[in-house]
Amino acid sequence: MPEGTLPSQGGVSALTTFNIAGFLTDFTGGQTVVRLSKSPKTVGEAFSELWQIYPGLRDRVLTERGQVRLHVNVFLESENIKRKDLLETVLPDDCEITILPAVSGGDEIR
Amino acid sequence: MPETTHVDAKPGDVLLLVGTMKGAFVLSSDKNRKEWTVGGPYFPGRAIYALLHDQRQGRNRLWAAVNSSFWGSYLSTSENLGRNWTEPEAYNIKFPEGTETSLKQIWQLVTGHEDEPNSLFCGVEPAALFRSDDAGESWALVQGLYDHPHRPQWQPGGGGLCLHTILPDPENKQRMHIAISTGGVYRTDDGGETWNSRNVGVRAQFLPPEHRYPEFGQCVHKIVSHPSKPERLFLQNHWGLYKSEDSGDSWTDIANGVPSDFGFALEVDPNNADSAYIIPLESDEFRCTPEAKLRVYRTRNAGESWEPLTDGLPQENAFETVLRDGLSADDLRPAGIYFGTRNGKLFGSSDAGESWQAIAQGLPPVVCVKTSVVH
């Protein structure tokens, strides 16, 4: 599986890992795993770091109001983070965040 | 993913731009409009509600409104009839800071006034209008409409709260009509600074009888005007078929002899300001062609009467639906008329509707058909 690694700074090991799947890898140069060399405190901070590396991801995951899109799910480890608190969710060390299209998506004719 | 094919076109050829729930297609024919080559699918899996061919100032640029329920909406362009499309890193249509609104879907794209060859307009959901004055490099919210005091009272119809129709006035670049479901028709006469509702005589069937003709709030499905007579507009309503001879100041019922005045699709004949086309549907509850017959209705006397056009169209077991942007006309003589159905069928006429042929079948549900004669 392709991996993208932000060069670690001062020998600090990667602490937060993003798993990126499917369509979104068009905006990570094909990388399905992105390791941050920082240890963000919240999901929102981790996202900000991710957009710094791969800016094309931002508008696909977040609305222009900075909210996670309705049919995008964000998992911390194996837990689907509740949308209300999503960006403020506190991250443990050495965690994995996974971004996936929700099963609720899909287009309806209007 | 399916294999993508491409088309070529030379000056005088006709393009059909077909948006579906699962991608876009570009079809090409010579001026006879009998044999069509199909290109696509482009953006497979994405809902393409708006397409545009901008040929002003020597351009050969296709525009597509790309909508994903997962990943949001943006505008993409192609300079080579679809072989390559832009995928902007940052989305180009966004509600600005301070609006507390986020884009749900892009519904409409049109070019601006002839004297402003770099102007483009984009209608979106939730109902709002965006404008570009640099050929689409940048876009800005038309604040005058967004700030309209009626806006908090606009309500989503079955298609959501969308601004789906934009009609720049070819004779007056300060004037434009737009239509919103559900809000009604609005007109600006000062280049978008201020907007006034223009719904006098248009009914809101879904309201109690004593409130059936409100100032605004009608579920207008489509409006069209003729380039040579922009003060005349036709309107297909959520129940109701209307005409205005005074730029929308008032509307009169013209549902004379049609099987239903419910429907979405509406188009004018570019060669004849008295001629318009509709494809009625049975009702709001049964949104299929009446009697399971696929009939296009045409007026040639500005709505005084309508005639069914059926030659070449299925007249039994045709449970079809044509949506608000699913009917379009080219400006050759006689005009080519085209429509796509929710069942993925594409029909065309090269003789202003006298006879029809099936151009394509088995497409995803069609939501948008636009035409262009290549310069």
pLDDT of residue A80: 94
- Give the closest of B72, B100, B365 to A60, CB-based: B72
Instruction: Report chain A's C-alpha Rg in angstroms.
Output: 14
Predicted confidence at residue A106, as pLDDT, reads 67
In the predicted structure, residue B253 carries a pLDDT above the cut 90:
yes
pLDDT digits (tens, 9 = 90+) for B72-122: 999 999 999 999 999 999 999 999 999 999 999 999 999 999 899 999 999
B72 touching chain A per CB within 8 A: yes
ipTM of model over 0.90: yes
* Nearest-angstrom CA–CA distance, B60 and B270: 22
pLDDT digits (tens, 9 = 90+) for B123-172: 999 999 999 999 999 999 999 999 999 999 999 988 899 999 999 999 99
Decide if pLDDT at A13 tops 60. Answer: no
Spatial CA neighbour of A5 closest among A17, A57, A92, A94 = A17
Q: How sure is the predictor about A10, in pLDDT bands with cuts at 50, 70 and 90?
A: very low
Chain B hits for A101, CB-CB cut-off 8 Å, are 70-71
B27 CB-near residues (< 8 Å, 6+ apart): B7, B15, B16, B18, B36, B37, B38, B39, B346, B359, B360
Side chain identity at B165, as an amino acid letter? T
Chain B residues inside the 8 Å CB shell of A56: 89-90
Q: Is A84 on the interface with B (CB under 8 A)?
A: no
CA separation, residue A51 to residues A7, A47, A58, A93, B315 (Å): 16, 6, 6, 20, 55
Give percent above pLDDT 70 in chain B: 100
Range 89-118 of B in CB contact (< 8 A) with A? 89-91, 94-95, 100-103
Mean pLDDT of B187-214: 97
Cα dihedral B192, B195, B199, B200 sign: negative
User: B20: nearest CA in chain A?
Assistant: A109
Share of chain B above pLDDT 90, in %: 98
Phi-psi region at B82: left, alpha or beta (left = phi > 0; alpha = psi -120 to 50): left
**Hey, which residues does B281 pair with through a beta bridge?**
B262
pLDDT at B1: 78
pLDDT of A2 strictly over 60: no
Q: How far is A53 from chain B (nearest CA, A)?
A: 12
Distance (Å, rounded) from C-alpha B65 to C-alpha A108? 16
**Max CA pair span of chain B:** 56
The confidence score (pLDDT) of residue A108 equals 64
Q: At B68, which helix (H) or strand (E)?
A: strand B61-68
Is the pLDDT assigned to residue B2 strictly greater than 90?
no
Q: How far is CA B113 from CA B172, B196, B270, in A?
A: 8, 20, 17
Least confident of A25-34, A85-94, B88-97, B327-336: A85-94
Which pLDDT value is given to residue B357?
Answer: 98
